[in-house]
Structure formats: C-alpha cells, structure tokens
Amino acid sequence: MAREVRITVVGSGYVGLVAAVCFAELGHKVTCVDNDQRKVEELRAGHTPIHEEHLEELLGKHRGKGLSFDTNLHESAKQAEAIFIAVGTPQGEDGDADMSYVEAVACELARSLEHYTVITEKSTVPVFTNEWIRKVIERNGGERELFDVTSNPEFLREGTAVSDFLHPDRIVVGADAARAGEVMRAIYEPLTSGAYYQRKDAIPGGCSAAKTPPLLETSTKAAEMIKHASNAFLAMKISFINAVSNLCESVDTDVEQVAKGVGLDARIGPRFLKPGIGYGGSCFPKDIAAFRAVAEQEGLDFGLLTEVEKINTAQKRRFVGKVRSTLWTLRGKKLAVLGLAFKGGTDDIRESPAIDLCKMLLEEGCKLTAYDPAAMERAKHELPAGEKMHYAAGVMEAVKGADAVLLLTEWPEFAKLDLDAVHKAVRYPIVIDGRNLYEPEVMAAHGFTYLSMGRPPVYPAKSAHGAEKKK
C-alpha cells in the first residue's frame, strides 16, 4: 500500500504548481513554497494564476487539506522528506540556462536540513546541475549525510499538464543513491502500481490499472540529458515538417498528405509532424539553446540544433510574406488576429510565434484587432493596446471590417468558425491560416481566398482570380 510522503515544492509556476497539486492528488502531504506573497495569497484563496485543464478543480479539492501554500522555505523544508526544486531557469544572453534561482534555493536548503531529505531537480536544467546543487549545499554548511540530490524531469504539455502528469508516457528518476531512489519510488507508487487509476475520482487519461506508466531509473546525468534531448528532438520534428511544408508549396503539393504518409511509419509516428508558424513556449526555444550551449562548452559542434532554430525563425518571416503577397502592401491594412498564446489550451505567451508575428506586422504599419480565449491579458503586457493594437471581446468583433483574418493559435473554437458569418463581417474574404485548421476546398466553397502552410492556395469557387472587394 502506498505511503504518504511529506513533500515541499519550491516554485508555483507552470511546473511547480502542477506538480504540487498532482502530488496532493496522489495522496501526499504537500506544501508549495513561493517568495511572491501576492501569488501565495491568491493560491490560498483558490485562484489559479495559469490556465490549465483540471488545475482549478484539483486545487479546490486539496487546498487546505493535503495541499498548502507558504512563503517560508526554511520552515517547510525542515518538515519535508522530499523537496522538489521547480523554479525558473531562464535563458541567458549566451544561450546558457540561468541557474541563479536554483542556486539561491540550494543555499537556503543548506541552512534548513535537519534530517535526511531527498532534494530533486524538477526544473529543466542542463547536465551537471545535480552536482552543482550538491556542491552548493555542502559549501553552505549542509551535512552530506542529510541529503541526496536526484533528477526528475517533467514532460508536461501546457494545456494538458495535469493529465500528462497523472498519465505520463514514462517517469524518469535519476538517482545515484539507493536510499533516494526508494523515496522517489514511494512518491510515484500510486501511478506505477495502478492504484490511482482504480479510484472513481481519478482524472481520466491514457493510463489505467492494466496499463501503468513505466518508471525509468537512471543516473542523475542521464536524467538531465533525457529532458533536453527529448525537447530538442521534438523541436527538430517540428522544424523538419516546416521545412518540408515549404518545399511542398514550391512543388505545388499538400504537406498534410505528405505528413500523414511519413507519420504512418511506426519508426517515426505522426506526433509533432504538424506544419505551422513554428514552435514557441517556455521550453523548446530555451532548452534547445541550453542544450547547444552545453555541447559547445564540451567542445562539440551540435550544428543540427542551430539549423532547427534557423528554420523556426524563418517560418515566421515566411508567414508575413504570405500576408504581404496576398494584400500587396501592408501599411494601413486592418488584420484580424485569432490567437495569441503559443499553442491552444494555455494562456502562456512566452516565445509565442503569434506575438512575434504581431510585432512584425505592427512594424510594417498594420492595424491589428486580436482575440484569444485565454491569453489576452498576458498579451497586453507585450502588445499594449493603442492606435494600431486593439483587443476584441470575441471572434466576430475581431474580424469585423478586416482586410484579412490570420489564424495563429490552434484553439478548437477557431477550427469551428461560422464561416458564413465571418464572410459577411470581413471587408475582404481572405483567411491566412498558420495552423492549417481548415480544408482548402471548404474555404473556397464558402467564398474565401485561403492560404495555409505547405498547401496550394485556393480561391473562391465562383472566381478564378481571388477575392474581390465586397459591395
């Protein structure tokens, strides 16, 4: 039978908050610590600062019971059997991950340990971080027999992070000490034994009592490498299919058919073979830069990653080129922007291709009216409302009088637009789709000039010359 583990999670961002809530869901006693008093008060009141499916539900279920929030790391760490470090590791100017927040936590922990505690990297960190955490704790007075440091990378997709945590493809634990490995196995035992999936109130997902997630035990360095290598490979798949989509456009064929044929190969698989305006978010851009920086520090040329980044950057310029080629000139054009988050299902705009595209179009003199179901408040910090930047309360307000509609984030509601209503509302029936949300033939049948990624453009069924100005 699973035992309760007293856990402290340091950091209440995307990784830390999801981890804390999910550990509580597994039956552990969890304290989530953050030095932001305002955020802690909001969490204590049941308000979630991020948009994630199931997160608010589980916060309400466990808040004040198995889950608490605090600003005092010293007191919380003294009570914990396991401490997960989930603070930010932003990208520095040279591409390296900024480890100053992790170091600050390690220094504080050195003064807090009173009994054996497992300290675990949950943040995305480069190889050797485990060793540095241990050194920092020892240098600041932490007794070596009171702790071990492990690595437990997360593989969560924003928007589905809770279900990804509770129904993982794999659980990776890097532990160089047997005692630490035992604690980590106890933490995840409700998942690996299948006990959690037998509960009537379990969050649904791909795992079950008969299909439990594997727990892969590795060295700490291997676990650190697995995280960066996984993200780099997924980003490479995205850039690869985007490069293929550009070639498909040149030879006048459909990349969706090509991607389907490639993805049916069991050695490759269909996931992440979706052409678009490039990857973004808090992980892929930062992790690729950090992974390449580690290689350079070791004297290795990981040029493949450089090309992945180049393709991703070029994809945004290519999309702006599509807009320009369709409208001829951009200055003064009124564009409806549907989507600001870097992907559907989240309010995260970090490294969002949609935000970058908005900035590029504003520099070209366009006037933008944007709508996103979740990310507009965050977007206003990057794109303040003004004479050329407006925010709409809904899709129809955004598209009214637009010279073209730009689809930039794959929100489900954007794939189910009332096309007849949109056609009546816009100035010109032009849609430029950065996410391939529609079939070209459907858009042509509804009277749109439609450009997408890696597919030939189509024009209104009644006109061979594209969209004409509506009367």
Active site residues: 283
Residue type, 348: D
**353, 375 Cβ separation under 8 angstroms:** no
Please identify which residue in the block is written with the tokens 């198995």.
Answer: 66
3-state class (DSSP) for residue 273: coil
Whole-angstrom distance, CA of residue 102 vs CA of residue 86: 8
**455, 254 Cβ separation under 8 angstroms:** yes
Spacing of C-alpha 402 from chain mean position:
30
Residues 6+ apart with CB under 8 A from 298: none
3-state class (DSSP) for residue 101: helix
Whole-angstrom distance, CA of residue 184 vs CA of residue 374: 35
Whole-angstrom distance, CA of residue 130 vs CA of residue 148: 10
**127, 225 Cβ separation under 8 angstroms:** yes
Residue 186 token pair: 């106890």
Nearest to 29 by CA among 67, 75, 59, 86: 67
3-state class (DSSP) for residue 148: strand
Nearest to 95 by CA among 278, 306, 269: 306
Please identify which residue in the block is written with the tokens 């990297």.
Answer: 121
What pairs with residue 150 in β-bridges?
A: 120
3-state percent helix, strand, coil for the chain, nearest multiple of 5: 45, 15, 45
**173, 193 Cβ separation under 8 angstroms:** no
Whole-angstrom distance, CA of residue 42 vs CA of residue 235: 34
